[in-house]
Amino acid sequence: MNYMTRAILPVPAVKDAVPPEVQRAFRTLIQWVGEDPDREGLADTPARAARAWLEYCSGYQEDPGSHLARTFAEVGGYDDIVLLRGIPFQSHCEHHLAPIIGTASIAYLPGTEVVGISKLARVLHGFANRLQIQERLTAQVAQCIWDGLRPRGVAVVIEAQHGCMTARGVKTHGVSMVTSRMLGCFRDDAGSRSEVLALLRG
Ligand SMILES: [Zn+2]
Catalytic-labelled residue, pool 61, 96, 113, 161: 96
Catalytic-labelled residue, pool 144, 162, 185, 195: 162
CA of 164 to the centre of ligand 1 (A): 4
- Quick check: is 134 catalytic? yes
pLDDT value of position 187: 97
- Asked whether the beta carbons of 58 and 13 are under 8 A apart, the reply is no
Catalytic-labelled residue, pool 92, 93, 140, 144: 93
Q: Give me the percent of the chain exceeding a pLDDT of 90.
A: 79
Neighbours of 34 (CB within 10 A): 6
More confident residue, 174 or 97: 97
Q: How far is CA 70 from CA 47, 143, 174, in A?
A: 37, 17, 39
- Asked whether the beta carbons of 98 and 92 are under 8 A apart, the reply is yes
pLDDT value of position 77: 77
- Quick check: is 93 catalytic? yes
- Quick check: is 96 catalytic? yes
pLDDT tens per residue, range 15-24: 678 999 999 9
Query: Is the pLDDT score of 169 beyond 90?
Result: no
Confidence of residue 73 (pLDDT cuts 50, 70, 90): confident
- Quick check: is 94 catalytic? yes
Mean pLDDT rounded to a whole number for the chain: 92
CA of 117 to the centre of ligand 1 (A): 30
Protein residues with C-beta less than 5 angstroms from the ion ligand 1: 93, 95-96, 164
CA of 132 to the centre of ligand 1 (A): 9
- Quick check: is 162 catalytic? yes
d(CA 118, CA 16): 29
